[in-house]
Amino acid sequence: MNYFRSQVTIKKIRMTSRLEVELSGVRLKNPVIPASGTFGFGEEFAQLYDLNLLGALAFKGTTREARYGNPLPRIAECGRYGMINAVGLQNPGVDHVLQKELPRLRTLFQGPVIANVSGFSLDDYAYTCEQLDKADGVSILEVNISCPNVHNGGMAFGTDPKAAADVTHTVKAVTHKPVYMKLSPNVTDIAAIARACEKAGADGICLVNTMLGMRIDIHRRKPVIANRYGGYSGAGIFPIALRMVNQVAKATQLPIIGCGGIESAEDVVEMMMAGATAVEIGAANLTQPLACKNIIDRLPELLNELKINDINDIIGIV
């Protein structure tokens, strides 16, 4: 009896280890991470499945001060191709996150936690990252540079190599944990932005964030979203995200978290073949609450079908 139990244990270990990946020294039991902005702080999803199935968890984007966000309506549906959102970084602020949300999250999830950080000035980024860097419950800082730079006419930090490098350098100066810069796809040369972040000391890259989009209510003859434009995410941007991940993988030596329209285990494998070490699942969580669990459950079977022994073997093979 003990023999058979040991064989079952060995089989489980093998099934787990073939999915393990590493991001800057942080071990993930699998490459699947729910993306910031679609998973909150995990509480709602914890009622549906054990969050400890996840490779890591990226919690809701956090800013220095609490933010209400943009006026309603904030969401525009785009059929099976995705959605547009203009939530406006609604969050309770970093102090509340550290005092309330993070401790609560750690009771639900014991794996690596990724803190997503947004800001509107270099001081904002420095303060928020420095506070989160002190938290024992945070493993990686994911710095969203799609935000408008209030000191530079509102242009997003992530659309200019120098501005992206400035944020990277500023954050690295006040932190000790791995820093992953989350890049905007709304640029003409994503590789140039990634190289600037790498040169400034980034430990990794996360891409892509949402694309700028719009929907119009033809009956009201007005934009659907009160903010007029918003971030387009979902299946429709997957080919674009895949291309950009591949470009950055070839342009830098940094590990990449790939995201943008991933909805299946097949998408995960494709994204990793393009160059990603791990992936984030975003919009799919909103339409398919079990998306991350289903993808994780499917991955071992898919690897068997593709005759892939270790998922790390496919990273960047294309």
Length of the chain: 318
Separation CA 139–CA 194 (nearest Å): 22
Q: What residues are annotated to the active site?
A: 147
- Edge-to-edge strand ranges of the sheet holding 57-62: 32-34, 278-281, 256-259, 204-207, 179-182, 140-144, 113-117, 57-62
* Backbone conformation region of residue 79, classed left if phi is above 0, alpha if psi is from -120 to 50, else beta: left
Separation CA 222–CA 287 (nearest Å): 26
State which H helix or E strand residue 74 sits in: none
State which H helix or E strand residue 127 sits in: helix 122-133
Question: DSSP label at 236?
Answer: G
- Pair of tokens at residue 121: 């000035």
For residue 293, the one-letter residue type is: K
- Among 230, 258, 234, smallest CA distance to 244 is for 258
